[in-house]
Amino acid sequence: MTTTITIHTTPGWASALAYDISQAEKSILIAALSGNAPTGKRAGPMAALWRELLAAPSRGVVARLVLPAPQTAHPATWANMTSATKAHAAGVHTVLIPGARLWHAKAAVIDDRIAWVGSGNLTDAAAVRNVEIWTRMNGAELATDLLDIIFREAEISDRTKRRAP
């Protein structure tokens, strides 16, 4: 099977990823350094991405969010607990990675067949103000390899729940 690669930049990457999340049928895993879930009825590409992620469990999709635990020395992580709590309340499986080793990678895997790797965090600034690049790769082997890397590096030991049933 041929792998299709598409490169997205600001401001379009968050909308494109939100679309893939909205089309997920089985599973979503998304990881970033910083997540800042919008409050209220905010508009914009990042608000749309968060809405789709939080709505996924109600569609029967197994959704996972991986963020570093808030760290005093790294302000970008300060909103992660609030975002993880909001995601968990919506049925998203959340992992807050503790420790001195800072999770900095930004990646997503949709339905074990679409892999995203990029520079933008899950924040409004990354979606509309910063210069960010995300690469979307459509290929099951790449997606599976990325899942394996995220689970290994994040030290997530529950391998039985790694993929949707």
Q: Which two tokens stand for residue 20?
A: 């893939």
Q: How confident is the model at residue 164 (pLDDT cuts 50, 70, 90)?
A: very low
Q: Say yes or no to pLDDT of 161 above 50.
A: no
- Token pair 């379009």 is found at 12
Domain segments of the chain as ranges: 4-153
Q: Tell me: the pLDDT tens digits for 49-73? A: 999 999 999 999 999 999 999 999 8
Contact 69, 80 (CB under 8 A): yes
Q: Which two tokens stand for residue 14?
A: 């968050």
Q: Tell me: the pLDDT tens digits for 101-116? A: 788 999 999 999 999 9
Of 3.40.605.10, 3.40.640.10, 3.30.870.10, 3.30.360.10, which CATH number belongs to 4-153? 3.30.870.10
Highest mean pLDDT (candidates 35-39, 69-73, 133-137): 133-137
Residue 137: DSSP 8-state: E
Q: Say yes or no to pLDDT of 133 above 50.
A: yes
